Amino acid sequence: MTSAGTDDAPIRPDSAGAIAAAVRSGETTALAVTEAHLARIARRNPTLNALTVVFDDRARRVAEEIDAALAAGDDPGPLAGVPVSVKENIDLMWSASTNGWRALADAVPERDAAVVRRIRAAGAVPIGRGNMPDFGMRWDTDNDLFGRTLNPWDATRSPGGSSGGDAVAVATGMSAIGLGNDFGGSLRLPAYAVGVCGLRPSQGRVPRAAVQGRAVALTLQQFSVNGPLARSVDDIALALDAIAGWDVDDPVSIDAPRVRPGDVPRRIGVTHDPLAWGVDAEVAAGIDRAAAALSRAGWDVVDVEPPMLEEAAVLWRRLSCTDMLLTLDPAVLGEPLGRSATRFLRDSTAAARPYETASEYAQAWGQRAAIAAEWRRLQVEVPLILGPVSTSRMSAPDDDLGGTAAADRAWRDLRLTVAVNFLGLPALALPAGLAADGMPSGVQLIGPMFAEDVVLTAGRDIEAGVAPVALPD
């Protein structure tokens, strides 16, 4: 690990695993690692606006505590000294959990979220807060409170959302791991946009926010999960091991058995253009590169069309927009949303046709079981599905705004991604080389419930067989 003496001191994009190993072995110190990352933040963040709050002194104190524990012969954990960023909607007592919304600018939580407690217990060092759109609604990262996050590869392209701040921080070496969440691609789309890995775990595998005597929208309970962003599949696995498991405050969380690679057939189904609605040639080329790597690694690679995909994507959209209208109405919140969030909510709900009756809403949830059964039958024979995160390349910031046509286009591009949220399945987004435009390309691997280990195994084979994506600088 290169220590920082000046703002332009080089920092190798070491993996979280390499950082922890170097700290634990005494090759470097947690404080030196923290100082190097703080220097990187000072140089890159003023332009990129990925981190909304930087924990300079607090991060240093935590790092010093880790070094003291090592000096005393104690084990600080498998992520000793690893800098992590924490999304603005995950409780961390060091700063407000704003959700990217002005009205929560002073909402400092009374305790850390379970995932924060766990990653800190593993020895990680919170170094900053990741930017996000208001309440994580958009597929871009901008809000009236903190402003816009820029894509480090090309500022004229969106960094994705809603975990865009953490993805950019990880991609540029400001943090080694990002903690975010995924309601409709909010981890996987930013990972695709900036060339990192993002895991949406199975529903229940990782605890979400504590439930404390207040109603929580049903879609938020069923579609949204916390998960990690990192620069390698191995680092995703390290983070997942640290944060997964049952939590008393989240009734959706469980200690589920882990499906191992030997438990299922070594077979992957490939879909380039789900529903034949169109796919960019560069997206398809990235999928081909990933499929070839998997074939060389001994996987049986077959073509597949995911069952009832249109129904799943439509139901995700209509149910989500119904709940957003009910829970994010300014009359309910007491304060208006930010300008871009207001436009997104208006356009998306107008395009989605939210449910108007309790009967329609109940029938939609009932249909979920039928679709999940079809996917389960497929994944007995073809456990993994390889396909696009988005069927389009990343477009300009605010391209998810601009009326119902823009809202329709964004949803159509993410049809496979949102179906995963609807069904609660695990999915890993990871790079698949560079496209002709010089931007990272990427794919996602979708597994059956609680088969994160299988997904990660296949992800490592793609990682090993496709040219790596260099850290933008």
Catalytic residue among 162, 163, 253, 340: 162
- Token digits for 316? 């995700």
The percentage of residues in the chain with a pLDDT greater than 90, rounded to a whole number, is: 91
Active site residue 359: no
Whose CA is closest to 195, among 447, 468, 449, 440?
Answer: 440
What percent of the chain is modeled with pLDDT above 70? 96
| DSSP class per residue in 218-250 | HHHHHH-EEEEEESSHHHHHHHHHHH-S-BTTB
To the query of whether residue 87 is one of the catalytic residues in this protein, the response is yes
Q: What is the mean pLDDT of the chain?
A: 94
pLDDT tens per residue across span 65-83: 999 999 999 999 999 999 9
Catalytic residue (choose from 97, 186, 224, 232): 186
CA distance 127 to 51: 9
Residue 7: pLDDT above 80?
no
Determine the Cα angle at 151 with ends 146 and 153, to 5°: 155
Q: What is the pLDDT of residue 213?
A: 63
Residue 283's nearest CA partner among 387, 168, 185, 406 is 387
Determine the Cα–Cα distance for residues 379 and 389; give it in Å rounded to an integer: 19
| Residue 336, pLDDT above cutoff 70 | yes
Q: Two tokens at 19? A: 């950082």
Domains annotated on the chain, with CATH: 16-465 (3.90.1300.10)
* pLDDT score for 472: 61
Is 202 an annotated catalytic residue?
A: no
The CA distance from 137 to 184, in Å, is: 9
Beta carbons of 413 and 389 less than 8 angstroms apart: no
User: Which distant-in-sequence residues (6+ apart) come within 8 Å of 81 by Cβ?
Assistant: 19, 20, 22, 23, 28, 29, 30, 33, 34, 63, 66, 123, 124, 125
Calculate mean pLDDT across residues 409-429. Answer: 98
Tell me: pLDDT of 11 over 60.
Answer: no
pLDDT digits (tens, 9 = 90+) for 292-334: 999 999 999 999 999 999 999 999 999 999 999 999 988 889 9
Give the whole-angstrom CA distance, residue 471 versus residue 459.
19
Q: What is the mean pLDDT of residues 431-446?
A: 96
Q: Does the pLDDT value for residue 394 go beyond 70?
A: yes
Q: pLDDT band at 210, cuts 50/70/90?
A: confident
The one-letter amino acid at 436: A
Residue 79 has φ and ψ, to the nearest 5°, of -110, 35
Helix (H, G, I), strand (E, B) or coil at 260: coil
**Whole-prediction pTM:** 0.96
211 — pLDDT class (breaks 50, 70, 90): confident
Annotated catalytic residue within 87, 95, 175, 441: 87
